[in-house]
Every structure is written in C-alpha cells, then in structure tokens.
Amino acid sequence: MKMAIKHNSIVERLAAKAIRLGADGVDVEHKDGCEVVFAMKNGIGAGIDRFRSSSPEGKSLRDELYGVARRKRRITVDECEYELRGRVYESFGEDAFRVEFRRV
C-alpha cells in the first residue's frame, strides 16, 4: 500500500512529481517571464510545470530553490526517502537552478 504524503513546499511537490516520473532531478530556468520546470533524466529534460515569475508562486519557488541550494533537504515519496541537493548556475544572464535527487 502506498502512503500519500502531502508536500507543503512547491519544490517538494515538483520533486515528488519528477521522482514519480523516473527523473533524477529538476532544472528551473527563467524564460519569457516564467519559471519553467523540467524533469531531468540523464541530462534530458521534459517540461512539467511553469510559474509566472511575478506571481506569488513564482517568487516562492525561487526563494525555496535558493534555500535548497544553501542546505540539503529530505523528502519522502511513496515510502522512500530522498535527499534533495540544489545548486544555482547562470543561464543567459539569469540565475537557473538544478535540484538533484538521491535515494537514502
């Protein structure tokens, strides 16, 4: 029986969605006034969500991503625990984010 766990943060919800799709991480990049989220597997990405950068969700997402880049986080998805490790990099003059998942 799979146990449903409510993920309160946007990053945790996106990570859980990507993990269930078989991804090993997510990338978030700014494009055309939006934060675009890609589920990544072996360097190949597929778009899974987008947030308007000026919206409360877009701002909260960026704040959370900076937080994950400063400090690792653990989440549970379908009874398995994962460590989230984030980093910030530059993409076309904007901050972009990569969050990698590691099962613990």
pLDDT of residue 56: 96
Domains contained in the chain, CATH given: 10-103 (3.30.450.90)
What's residue 23's pLDDT? 97
Residue 92: what pLDDT? 87
CA 72 to mean position of chain CA atoms: 12
pLDDT for 5 equals 56
| Amino acid, single-letter form, for residue 72 | K
Mention every residue, 6+ apart, whose C-beta is less than 8 A from residue 39: 17, 18, 21, 23, 25, 26, 45, 46, 48
Which parts of the chain have pLDDT scores under 50?
1
